[in-house]
Amino acid sequence: MTEQYRSTSTARGRVTRRAAGVGLALLATAGVGVAGAGSAQAAEAHSGTPTCTTSGLTASFGQKLGGGMNHAGVVLKLTNTSGHSCALRGYAGLGLEDSQHRTLNSTAEWGSTWYAQDPGKETLRLDDGESAEAVVSWTHANTGTSEARDASYLQVTPPANTSHKTLEFPAWVDNGRLKVTAFSPHVELNG
């Protein structure tokens, strides 16, 4: 099952909408998105390990992924820098920004990508200094193509959080459409 959320921009700010699986209602926040808050809170209650917070994580890019048919991608890493263990479960909320840090219309779909099969939601215990990985992918037909987004930055909202980290992301993204896998200890790339 593919879950997704949509991030849109208006003159007065941005509103994030995400349609999640059975039983979850439409959720709007002032940030990019909240990914799996209920699941992460349930994991915390069972494990006694607090949920990883945006302030206790560092976001970075790992391996850059290329490919045919106008596909591009990158391994996204979240590293626990909180000084204690924390639990992480689910998918990143993603959004695009232009060179002036204005939010661009974008959509992020949760599930398998061109480069990796989705491992599914799994509660990860990250000790201080440990990382989790996900794959972000998109297509880029041509720079300047109608409906393409000229992004300069990527907003990354960790699961169960409402604030985001911002990474440099100079890329053209067709229709502002991104795909992302769930976080896992290590991404297994296709083929």
pLDDT for res 140 = 87
User: Which DSSP string do the residues of 43-81 spell out, in sequence order?
Assistant: HHHHH-PPBP-GGGEEEEEEEEE--STTEEEEEEEEEE-
pLDDT of residue 48: 87
Q: What are phi and psi of 84, to 5 degrees?
A: -150, 170
pLDDT at 70: 87
Model confidence pLDDT, tens digit, residues 23-60 = 223 222 323 333 344 444 444 444 589 999 999 999 99
At 123 the three-state DSSP class reads coil
Residues with pLDDT less than 50, the chain: 1-46
Q: What DSSP string runs through 162-190? A: S--EEEEEEEEEETTEEEEPPPBSS--B-
Specify the pLDDT at position 144. Answer: 61
pLDDT given for residue 62 in this prediction: 96
